[in-house]
């Protein structure tokens, strides 16, 4: 069964800027335009980096609708609509489809977790209810709930389940995923330090945190690889490794939001239970950004 590829290259897991405890749509619009101008291949709105877990329902729906309108068809918009409540995930996913999102990003159920049988039922139920392609999102360090390969194989049979954002970090497990499902699912790196390793296995690209501040370079890692310049791609990945690691010195999205603030894109406002970056880590971030010529 030939499935639609949502995008190839670099998708940005875009932050949600706040001002006085509300979504700063002016800043979000500028960020989206900057991303598109600098070769980002897809906008991922309301993912983990977008603080989806602390957005109200109105903010979540509004941010998706705003992104679709602002992008205006220039590149795909992928809406984060996953939940640990299948019914709510369907409602949010149907809304994203209705307002024109090009695809959905669905995380594994968090906190209540799930058996593998429950994962299959959850995602098939959502897939049957929506009209747009689905990218599954595996990030067990945050959810406590991971896909196994057999579950991926079962879900890959559904025509609307087309891809995986893999942020599990275990490259051996990811290699097994490629071996078993690589012909049926497009696989994207969910970790900025594993873009080239996943591309080397046949990956379609990355959904990136780092792209918030240097979108052109993340696009170039992928484009160089796809054009056969594999050493140049790997060299760029490795050159950015210190910056990548610094952006995870505290839990995402605390450091990337601090970096965006330092660059003048938005306030550093972040919602509890997350809080602004520690002073020592802000100093580290400033130093690394200066080394990269960003400040």
Question: CA 143 to CA 113: how far, in whole Å?
Answer: 7
Q: What is the pLDDT of residue 189?
A: 97
Task: Kindly state the percentage of the chain with pLDDT values over 70.
Answer: 100
Residue recorded with tokens 């929506």? 130
CA 189 to chain centre: 9
Mean pLDDT of 44-63: 97
For the stretch 283-287, contacts whose Cβ atoms lie closer than 8 Å and that sit 24 or more positions apart, written own/partner, are 284/246, 284/249, 285/246, 285/247, 285/249, 285/255, 285/258, 285/259, 286/262
9-229, which class in CATH?
alpha beta
Q: What is the pLDDT of residue 1?
A: 60
pLDDT at 286 over 70: yes
Domain boundaries of the chain, sorted by first residue: 9-229
pLDDT in tens, 230-267: 999 999 999 999 999 999 999 999 999 999 999 999 99
Mean pLDDT of 211-226: 98
Look up the pTM and report it: 0.96
Q: What is the pLDDT of residue 113?
A: 87
Judging by DSSP bridges, how do beta strands 18-19 and 22-23 pair with one another?
antiparallel
Q: What is the pLDDT of residue 181?
A: 93
Q: Is 172 helix (H, G, I), strand (E, B) or coil?
A: helix
Average pLDDT, the chain: 96
88 band by pLDDT with thresholds 50, 70 and 90: very high
Residues belonging to the active site: 137, 165
Question: CA 21 to CA 218: how far, in whole Å?
Answer: 30
Mean pLDDT of 100-104: 98
145 band by pLDDT with thresholds 50, 70 and 90: confident
pLDDT at 205 over 80: yes
pLDDT at 71 over 90: yes
């Amino acid at each position: 069964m030939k499935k639609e590829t949502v995008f190839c290259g670099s998708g940005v897991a875009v932050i949600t800027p706040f001002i006085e405890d509300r979504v700063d749509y002016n800043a979000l619009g500028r960020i989206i335009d900057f991303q598109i101008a600098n070769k980002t291949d897809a906008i991922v709105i309301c993912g983990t980096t977008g603080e989806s877990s602390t957005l109200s329902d109105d903010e979540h729906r509004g941010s998706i609708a705003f992104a679709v309108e602002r992008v205006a068809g220039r590149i795909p918009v992928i809406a984060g609509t996953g939940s640990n409540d299948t019914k709510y995930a369907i409602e949010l996913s149907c809304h994203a489809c209705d307002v024109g999102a090009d695809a959905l990003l669905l995380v594994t159920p968090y906190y209540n977790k799930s058996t593998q049988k429950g994962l299959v039922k959850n995602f098939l139920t959502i897939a049957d209810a929506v009209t747009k392609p689905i990218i599954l999102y595996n990030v067990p360090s945050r959810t406590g709930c991971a896909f196994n390969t057999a579950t991926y194989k079962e879900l890959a049979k559904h025509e609307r389940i087309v891809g995986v954002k893999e942020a599990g970090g275990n490259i051996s497990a990811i290699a097994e995923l490629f071996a078993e499902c690589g012909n049926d699912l497009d696989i994207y790196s969910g970790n900025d330090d594993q873009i080239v390793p996943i591309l080397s296995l046949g990956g379609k690209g990355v959904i990136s945190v780092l792209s918030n501040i240097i979108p052109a370079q993340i696009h170039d890692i992928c484009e160089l690889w796809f054009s056969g310049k594999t050493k140049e791609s790997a060299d760029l990945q490795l050159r950015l490794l210190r910056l990548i690691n610094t952006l995870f010195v505290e839990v995402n999205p605390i450091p990337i939001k601090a970096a965006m603030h330092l660059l003048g894109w938005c306030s550093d406002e972040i919602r509890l239970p997350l809080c602004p970056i520690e002073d020592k880590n802000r100093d580290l971030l400033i130093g690394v950004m200066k080394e990269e010529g960003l400040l």
